[in-house]
Amino acid sequence: MSCVIFTHYFHKVPLDTFHADHQNGNKWYKVGKDGITTFRQAMSADRQDMLIGRHDSKIDEKNRISFPNKFRKELGEQLVITQGFEGSLIVIKATQMNLLLEGSEGKPITHKQARDTETFLLGGAEEVKLDSKGRFVIPDHLKKYAGLGEEVACLGVLRYVRIWDKKRWEEYNGILIKNIGEITRKLSEED
């Protein structure tokens, strides 16, 4: 029996079809009976589309941030920056902004949680363009929302980048380190 692996969500699905939706960042790969070689090849090929890792940066006196080169290559020059969760900012490719709305899209306007999510993510969003040196200006209202100082941490999180004040990230990461076992246990119970 063969299966297909959906690499952005890592779900195994018993199908015999191949799907590639590059516009939305979704890729399906057909995996043979042993799965291992083909799965590794699929993951290696897909890794180039994944945003991962931490890169520290600084905000200058004009509120410009030098965006890490690795993230520039993946996201391009046309970006959207918006408020994120836990006091961070989210930076995503402008053409993929709809990915942030998964779960709220298609809900009626009368659905309060969907409305609130869309308002939170879209209401303060700004389109930004990288300059020739790979920098962009963080709008004042977003800098204030995230409490950004001069030093920031940029974290690749699969499809987008989160920008944190460096000290705030280190504090939050300390909490994650202490609680990750419980967090992953609860997450696995949801499935």
DSSP string, 71-83: HHHHH-SEEEEEE
Q: What's the CATH code of the domain at 170?
A: 3.40.1550.20
Does 66 lie in the same domain as 16?
no
| Residue 184 belongs to a domain | no
Percent of the chain with pLDDT over 90: 51
Does 57 lie in the same domain as 42?
no
Instruction: Give the integer Cα–Cα distance in Å for 14 and 31.
Output: 10
- Domain count of the fold of the chain: 2
Does 36 lie in the same domain as 111?
no
Q: Which residue has the higher pLDDT, 56 or 21?
A: 56
Asked whether 71 and 161 are in contact (CB, 8 A), the reply is yes
| Residue 36 belongs to a domain | yes
- Which pTM value belongs to this model? 0.72
pLDDT tens-digit map of 70-114: 899 889 889 999 999 999 999 999 988 888 877 777 777 788 988
Does 9 lie in the same domain as 22?
yes
Helix (H) or strand (E) holding 91: strand 89-93
| Residue 159 belongs to a domain | yes
Tokens linked to 1: 């029996």
Of 83, 100, 91, the C-alpha closest to 147 is: 83
